[in-house]
Amino acid sequence: MQSFELDKTDIQRITQALEGDDEALKVLLAEYHASEIAILFEGLSQEAREYIINILPSDIASEVISEMDAEIHPEKILGNLHPEKRSEIVEELDYDDATDIISQLSEKQQEEILEGLDAEDASHIRALLNYDEDTAGGLMNTQVLKVNSGLTKKEALDEIIRLSEEIEEFYTINVVDNDNRLVGIVSLKDIIKSKYTVHIRELVKDDFVYVTADTDQEEVAKLLSQYNLTSIPVVDDKMKLLGRITFDDVIDVLQEENTEDILKISGVSEDEELSGNWREAIKSRLPWLVLNLGTAFLASSVIRHFEPTITHLVILSGYMTMIAGMGGNAATQALAVTVRRISLNDLTDKQAYQTVFKELTVGLINGAIIGCIIFLFAVFYDRNPMLGLVVFLAMTGNLLIAGITGASIPLLLKRIGIDPAIASSIIITTFTDVLGFLLLLGMASKLLL
């Protein structure tokens, strides 16, 4: 089965069906999975999305809303629905999904929705709304399968069957004591294979992985990946079981974090929506461009200082562009690799040193190779071996600087508590431009004049 992609033909079919009767539209929508309808929503107007949600059965509508991209604002659709339809949809959602969507609404709208829900559902969602959305508490689902450690195999199986009516999927079973404190986990396979009279406490694995409610979502993702887990329990500071986080929740987190890092490295605020309008884009990017302009003035001042050299050797202007461009590209490569390493692991001092040394070595070797190529160009095209030597040294030195700064600056920023992705690129560009021009023009003024 191939992955579903947004297609103009599908959009046209839906649009045409919207102009007809509801029954024909329902028949057409039945051809698509809920996640596919969520993708199709990207090509439809807000009015069309709301209309479709209204005519879909509540269980399907809840799946569509939970699968919608955050940039399409599922909370707006939910907020505009008739209260009865809205309540039906929210009650079909998992608590974590419902909380994620409702949290984007105003406090007044949140309260209106919660007042229309079953008391138990409203209580679970209210509890989750108290957690920061970027923490394990904000990511977890409070619907969790748990059994008491004192139960026998038969009693535990009866409890699992009862709880499984509310929980669609489960991978491990959490074991708690009489005070709801998590004491370990057990697999369904181990329970089934055990003797009929065995107690659950005898099957418990107490070397399990868990997180607290305030654990950052990136750390949760790392733990699930590191230990190859399908879910991870969430506890409070007294080990009382609060909920669970499953691997499908973490996939969304990883996509979100990767997108955030890419935008930051490019000098784009994480607050800018990928599908946002031009006003949002300007508001997000202009401050960084202004800051970058300030650093460009610094590089320009170096050129102005060596204006007599450039006047006598106009040919240097062409090589300046090459050195600045190559330095910037090399620094970006080192920066991307280093930021990715930082995002995956908290590097030790030894690992940080090894990262910088690796990029230093790569920069030196790449610089020497590129420098040799440009040396030969200067010798055979410009007929000037001394110019070739100057450009060779400047290129080698600048790519060496690019490697060092591309690795060390994000590590330094991380150490002092500044996000390395969002601030590194402008600082590194300044280093490679300024030092690249200083090397080329400084050596040219000494060796060629």
Residue 293 domain boundaries: 278-447
Average pLDDT over residues 356-377: 94
Based on its alpha-carbon atoms, the radius of gyration of the chain, rounded to whole angstroms, reads 29
Residue 93 sits in the same domain as residue 61: yes
CA-angle at 435, arms to 430 and 436, nearest 5°: 100
Average pLDDT over residues 121-136: 89
Residue 44 sits in the same domain as residue 119: yes
CATH number of the domain bearing residue 104: 1.25.60.10
- Confidence at residue 57, expressed as pLDDT on a 0 to 100 scale: 92
Residue 285 sits in the same domain as residue 433: yes
Per DSSP bridges, beta strands 182-186 and 173-176 are: antiparallel
Query: Does position 262 have pLDDT exceeding 70, yes or no?
Result: no
Q: Indicate the residue among 193, 224, 247 that finishes a domain.
A: 247
Residue 222 sits in the same domain as residue 355: no
Average pLDDT over residues 91-108: 89
Residue 412 sits in the same domain as residue 306: yes
- Confidence at residue 246, expressed as pLDDT on a 0 to 100 scale: 85
Q: How confident is the model at residue 71 (pLDDT cuts 50, 70, 90)?
A: confident
Residue 23 sits in the same domain as residue 102: yes
Query: Does position 371 have pLDDT exceeding 80, yes or no?
Result: yes
What percentage of the chain exceeds 70 in pLDDT?
90
pLDDT digits (tens, 9 = 90+) for 203-247: 998 888 999 999 988 888 888 888 888 889 999 999 999 999 888
- Confidence at residue 366, expressed as pLDDT on a 0 to 100 scale: 94
Average pLDDT over residues 152-161: 90
Q: Return d(Cα 15, Cα 27) in angstroms, integer.
A: 14
Residue 436 sits in the same domain as residue 326: yes
The answer to whether residue 234 is domain-embedded is yes
Q: Indicate the residue among 202, 229, 247 that finishes a domain.
A: 247
The answer to whether residue 407 is domain-embedded is yes
CATH number of the domain bearing residue 220: 3.10.580.10
- Confidence at residue 269, expressed as pLDDT on a 0 to 100 scale: 53
- Confidence at residue 267, expressed as pLDDT on a 0 to 100 scale: 55
The answer to whether residue 261 is domain-embedded is no
Q: How confident is the model at residue 427 (pLDDT cuts 50, 70, 90)?
A: confident
The size of the chain, in residues, is 449
3-state secondary structure 10-73: HHHHHHHHHCCCHHHHHHHHCCCCHHHHHHHHHHCCHHHHHHHHHHCCHHHHHHHHHHCCHHHC
Residue 110 sits in the same domain as residue 191: no
Query: Does position 359 have pLDDT exceeding 90, yes or no?
Result: yes
Quote the distance between the C-alpha of residue 328 and its chain's center.
25
Query: Does position 274 have pLDDT exceeding 90, yes or no?
Result: no
Instruction: Provide the domain count of the chain.
Output: 3
The answer to whether residue 357 is domain-embedded is yes
Residue 193 sits in the same domain as residue 230: yes
Q: What is the pTM of this model?
A: 0.62
For 79-97, letters b (16+ CB in 10 Å) and e give: bebeeeebbbbbbbbbbbb
Residues 6+ apart with CB under 8 A from 247: 224, 229, 230, 231
The answer to whether residue 153 is domain-embedded is yes
- Confidence at residue 449, expressed as pLDDT on a 0 to 100 scale: 76
Residue 206 sits in the same domain as residue 70: no
Are 61 and 69 spatial neighbours (Cβ–Cβ below 8 Å)?
no
Query: Does position 425 have pLDDT exceeding 90, yes or no?
Result: no
Kind and range of the H or E run holding 130: none
CB atoms within 10 A of CB 115: 10
Locate all alpha helices (DSSP H) within 269-348, ordered by sequence: 278-305, 307-312, 316-344
- Confidence at residue 142, expressed as pLDDT on a 0 to 100 scale: 87
Residue 436 sits in the same domain as residue 289: yes
CATH number of the domain bearing residue 411: 1.10.357.20
Residue 116 sits in the same domain as residue 239: no
pLDDT digits (tens, 9 = 90+) for 24-59: 899 999 999 998 999 899 889 899 999 999 999 999
Greater model confidence, 206 or 411: 411
